[in-house]
Structure 1
């Protein structure tokens, strides 16, 4: 059975996928994951998940959130004078995020 391994370097960090191991059960998978993925790097925790239990969603199915215009939620749609420093920073961050989403 194939087990996918997720590693967390420091407490509070996100777990990231680091590879997989072949093992007959969860306990052996954890042991193999510890040897292969945690022995040389600082590791706070490891997760193993059966490959059969991991679902996948394609790009078209996951695009649900980007189908409607919600620009009214962004500070850049409101033009108040004078612009506070925090608002200017927020506008530039949101404009950059918008460009990244649209692929420009």
Structure 2
């Protein structure tokens, strides 16, 4: 049975797919995942999931466009007075950092 492995580098970070292992059950999959994917890089936790339990929706099956536009949350999306130039610059900086994944 094939198990997909997801690794979390540090507490609070997202789990990311790092590979798979072949194992007969969950306990062996966790053990193999620790050996193969958890010991060389910093690892906070591992998830193992049976490959057949992972579902997928791709762009041909559903439309994703437009659902994630949240530009209304940023000051730069609106016409404002020049008196707020410093606040607009700060908002733009925050937006660029958020898009790059910085906090």
TM range, normalised to the smaller chain?
Answer: 0.7 to 0.9
Counterparts of 1:54-93 in structure 2 under 5 Å? 54-60=54-60, 61-63=62-64, 66=66, 72-81=72-81, 82-91=83-92, 93=95
Name the structure 1 match of 2:53: 53
Which structure shows the bigger proportion of residues in helix conformation? 1
User: Normalised by the size of structure 1, how large is the TM-score?
Assistant: 0.73
Matched length:
94
Could you tell me the TM-score, scaled by structure 2's length? Answer: 0.74
Unmatched runs of 5 consecutive residues or more in structure 2: none
Ranges of 4+ aligned residues in structure 1 off by more than 4 Å: 69-74
- Alpha carbon RMSD of aligned pairs, Å? 2.6
CA distance in 1, matches of 2:72, 2:40: 48
